[in-house]
């Protein structure tokens, strides 16, 4: 699975996303540095855009952390309208011990809500009911992302995997949020970077938050 490069997310949100708890990490895949893909999260909505030809090797989306070792049961997202479903985009990419599975919005029948939004739910039953156009993920999960790679935009809300609502890890001003992320053994869950103890974790977080404020104030 192509890992998205995190963008426009506060330092603590990115750090907390590496913990065992599930979290959404907005990012882009843009090996050609085209700058034509963007990903951001605001007010409960993941805003994705690809402002270049579909053939361009670039995508916008979010990695979903904290699911490793689970088996796939369900996933879902709500689009602003059905017109934002363009072929198999947006889609979930689910990497498991059995391979890579694509769950595109065209692979299930959406539920159109009263406000015009459309909810796409992926389960073994919904995939089968739509003609089993793609296989249901099997094996144990090692990575999940949600993305668009077709020219256009998509606004996704209520993103869930295995019944868990996915959103960026919360940010907090000051040092309390850093301490909370590192306490109760949380420092052991970080892998990029890893820490020797809780104190090292807190120091690292505080340093990066300070750096973030300096960069923002320039």
- Please tell me whether residues 47 and 144 are part of one structural domain: yes
Same domain, 46 and 88: yes
Residue 153 near residue 164, CB atoms below 8 Å = no
Asked if 52 and 71 sit in the same domain, the reply is yes
Q: What pLDDT is attached to residue 180?
A: 60
CATH number at residue 101: 2.60.120
Whether residue 123 lies inside any domain: the answer is yes
Number of domains in the chain: 2
Same domain, 57 and 148: yes
At residue 8, the pLDDT reads: 37
What per-residue confidence (pLDDT) applies to 218? 45
Same domain, 40 and 125: yes
Domain that holds residue 94: 5-165
d(CA 63, CA 9): 13
Question: In this predicted structure, what is the pLDDT of residue 181?
Answer: 64
Tens-binned pLDDT, residue by residue, of the chain (218 aa): 566 765 533 333 434 433 345 789 999 999 999 999 999 999 999 999 999 999 999 999 999 999 999 999 999 999 999 999 999 999 999 999 999 999 999 999 999 999 999 999 999 999 999 999 999 999 999 999 999 999 999 999 999 999 999 988 764 444 444 456 676 677 676 665 677 777 777 666 665 544 444 444 44
* Long-range CB contacts (within 8 A, 24+) of 164-168: 164/22, 166/22, 166/23, 166/24, 166/62, 166/64, 167/23, 167/24, 167/41, 167/44, 168/9, 168/13, 168/17, 168/23, 168/24, 168/25, 168/26, 168/41
CB 65 within 8 A of CB 159: no
């Amino acid at each position: 699975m192509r890992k998205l490069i995190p963008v426009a997310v506060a330092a603590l949100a990115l750090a907390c996303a590496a913990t065992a708890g599930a979290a959404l990490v907005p990012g882009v895949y843009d090996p050609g540095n085209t700058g034509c893909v963007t990903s951001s999260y605001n007010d409960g909505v993941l805003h994705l855009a690809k402002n270049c030809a579909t053939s361009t090797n670039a995508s916008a989306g979010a990695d979903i952390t904290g699911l490793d070792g689970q088996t796939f049961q369900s996933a879902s997202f709500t689009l602003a309208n059905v017109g934002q479903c363009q072929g198999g985009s947006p889609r979930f990419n689910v990497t498991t011990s059995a391979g890579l599975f694509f769950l595109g919005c065209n692979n299930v029948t959406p539920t159109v809500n009263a406000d015009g939004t459309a909810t796409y739910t992926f389960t073994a039953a919904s995939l089968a009911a739509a003609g089993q156009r793609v296989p249901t993920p099997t094996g144990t999960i090692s990575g999940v992302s949600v993305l668009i790679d077709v020219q256009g935009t998509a606004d996704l809300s209520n993103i869930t995997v295995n019944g868990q609502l996915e959103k960026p890890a919360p940010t907090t001003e000051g040092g309390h949020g850093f301490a909370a992320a590192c306490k109760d053994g949380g420092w052991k869950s970080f892998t990029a970077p890893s820490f020797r103890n809780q104190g090292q974790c807190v120091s690292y977080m505080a340093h990066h938050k300070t750096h973030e404020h300096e960069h923002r104030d320039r």
